[in-house]
Amino acid sequence: MAEIVIYRYGHRPARDKRITTHVALTARAMGAGSIIIDTGDRGIEENIVAVNRNFGGHFKVQTGVSIERFFNSLGNNDLLVHLTMYGKPIMEKIEEIKEASREKDRIVVFVGAEKVPGIAYAKSNFNISVTSQPISEVSALAIFLDRFLDGNELKNEMKGRLDINPNERGKTIEYF
Amino acid sequence: MAEIVIYRYGHRPARDKRITTHVALTARAMGAGSIIIDTGDRGIEENIVAVNRNFGGHFKVQTGVSIERFFNSLGNNDLLVHLTMYGKPIMEKIEEIKEASREKDRIVVFVGAEKVPGIAYAKSNFNISVTSQPISEVSALAIFLDRFLDGNELKNEMKGRLDINPNERGKTIEYF
């Protein structure tokens, strides 16, 4: 199965810290292997390392990879999917994306902030929308991963120093 | 069918403006009818009104409704679902939630920021997790609405002053 990598474009540390953290947490919780962020941001790197330590898994984060460097790093074994409200509806394309990803080592999901340069549309194998409406890139990524992984990502079990036991009411946390 | 209302708790205008806006845009794009936000925030209200004008629909936003007022406003015809990483997995409970919602006028989805008081756990009919991992409340809401509406929300068509035509590459926007 192709490894899932997220590329986050347009991250401004002062303004987007929380949104980009939500993108990263969504990617991690929903089955991606790593996130690459265009602008350097040590705070987000440390945050995700702490989440791995507490809640498990090996999700990787790398920051400071410019869009030029990112596009240069892509090869024939990568499938590039750009999430954009201007793209084709996910339900029309998801089977084609799954099929195309079978021959690839990685599926790279490009998640932009407000302004995305034309090269992202041109270079992507698929430009995909989750509703043709303004929506959060966090939600768009969640729905994309859910459809791509057929809902199996909801059964992921990662173990760290803390373990959350599902509850009807209240909280149960086990510490190891 | 029960109307879907989102209650956003713990909104701090200075810090959470963008995250709460993403919660509201997700709610609107994915089939909810309205969002109620605990702290007053004229900026978010204006933002959502502008999105309706441009992209259609009648999504409502109300801010400045404290948690006490919110709980007091709930009645027997409301089903309250709280999204929390400490809750029961969504895939175990979603059919039960759909069934319970059939007898109700509204399904109210409680979406907290970092700290949520115990009353939210106690008063909710369901405490539901989307992965038992730290995840964005934006993603959790998206997955919840998607499961609750069986993916039909992705086919929503709202019409405003702008209309986005899905594209393989680039952007097509029609102006009315």
Per the CB < 8 Å rule, is B133 touching A90? no
Entry pTM: 0.96
- Report which of A78, A60, A83, A54 is spatially closest to residue A147, judged by C-alpha positions: A83
Residues 96-155 of B with CB under 8 A from A: 118, 121-122, 127, 129-136, 138-139, 141-143, 146, 151, 153-155
DSSP H helices in B37-117: 42-55, 67-73, 90-101
Residue in B25, B49, B88, B133 to test binding to A, most A beta-carbons within 10 Å: B133
Q: B9 and B38 in contact (C-beta within 8 Å)? A: yes
Mean pLDDT of chain A: 94
CB within 8 A of B45, min separation 6: which ones? Answer: B61, B62, B63
Q: What is the mean pLDDT of residues A150-168?
A: 88
Residue B21 tokens read as 């806006």
pLDDT band, very low/low/confident/very high, at A172 (cuts 50, 70, 90) = confident
Can you give the pLDDT at residue B156?
80
Q: Report the residue from B91, B121, B168 with minimal CB separation from A154.
A: B91
Q: A5 and A108 in contact (C-beta within 8 Å)? A: yes
Q: A63 and A42 in contact (C-beta within 8 Å)? A: yes
Q: Report the residue from A30, A86, A170 with minimal CB separation from B121.
A: A170
Q: A106 and A148 in contact (C-beta within 8 Å)? A: no
Q: Tell me, yes or no, if A86 comes closer than 8 A to chain B by beta carbon.
A: yes
Tell me which of A51-60, A81-90, A165-174 is least confident: A165-174
Residue B20 tokens read as 């709460």
**DSSP type of residue B161:** S
Mean pLDDT of chain B: 94
Q: A8 and A36 in contact (C-beta within 8 Å)? A: yes
Tell me which of A78-82, B10-14, B51-55 is least confident: B10-14
Per the CB < 8 Å rule, is A18 touching B18? yes
Q: Report the residue from B127, B153, B166 with minimal CB separation from A129.
A: B166
Can you give the pLDDT at residue A157?
83
A120 CA to chain B: closest CA distance, Å?
Answer: 9
- Report which of A36, A138, A157 is spatially closest to residue B142, judged by C-alpha positions: A138
Tell me which of A55-59, A162-166, B99-103 is least confident: A162-166
Q: What is the mean pLDDT of residues A48-74?
A: 96
Can you give the pLDDT at residue B19?
95
B87 CA to chain A: closest CA distance, Å?
Answer: 5
Return the biggest CA–CA distance within chain B. 50
CB within 8 A of B159, min separation 6: which ones? Answer: B56, B176
A23 CA to chain B: closest CA distance, Å?
Answer: 8
Residue A56 tokens read as 């498990």
- Quote the CA–CA distance of A39 and A168 in Å, as a whole number: 41
| Helix, strand, or coil (residue B2) | coil
Tell me which of A34-38, A68-72, A125-129, B160-164 is least confident: B160-164
A89: how many CB neighbours lie within 10 A of its CB?
A: 15
Per the CB < 8 Å rule, is B169 touching A131? no
CB contacts of A59 in chain B (<8 Å) are none
Interface A-B: count of C-beta contacts within 8 A:
170
Residues 21-50 of A with CB under 8 A from B: 22-23, 25-26, 28-30
Can you give the pLDDT at residue A170?
80
- Quote the CA–CA distance of B21 and B80 in Å, as a whole number: 22
DSSP codes joined into one string, A90-107: HHHHHHHHHHHHTT-SEE
Q: Tell me, yes or no, if B170 comes closer than 8 A to chain A by beta carbon.
A: yes
Q: Report the residue from A29, A138, A167 with minimal CB separation from B133.
A: A29
pLDDT digit string, tens, across residues B136-147: 999 999 999 999
pLDDT band, very low/low/confident/very high, at A15 (cuts 50, 70, 90) = confident
- Closest alpha carbon within chain B to A23: B136
pLDDT of B20 over the 90 cut: yes
Residue B4 tokens read as 């879907």
pLDDT digit string, tens, across residues A101-142: 999 999 999 999 878 999 999 999 999 999 989 999 999 999
Query: When comparing pLDDT for A148 and A172, which is higher?
Result: A148
- Quote the CA–CA distance of A18 and A24 in Å, as a whole number: 10
B49: how many CB neighbours lie within 10 A of its CB?
A: 13
Residue A160 tokens read as 């760290």
- Closest alpha carbon within chain A to B117: A170
pLDDT digit string, tens, across residues A69-103: 999 999 999 999 999 999 999 999 999 999 999 99
Per the CB < 8 Å rule, is A133 touching B87? no
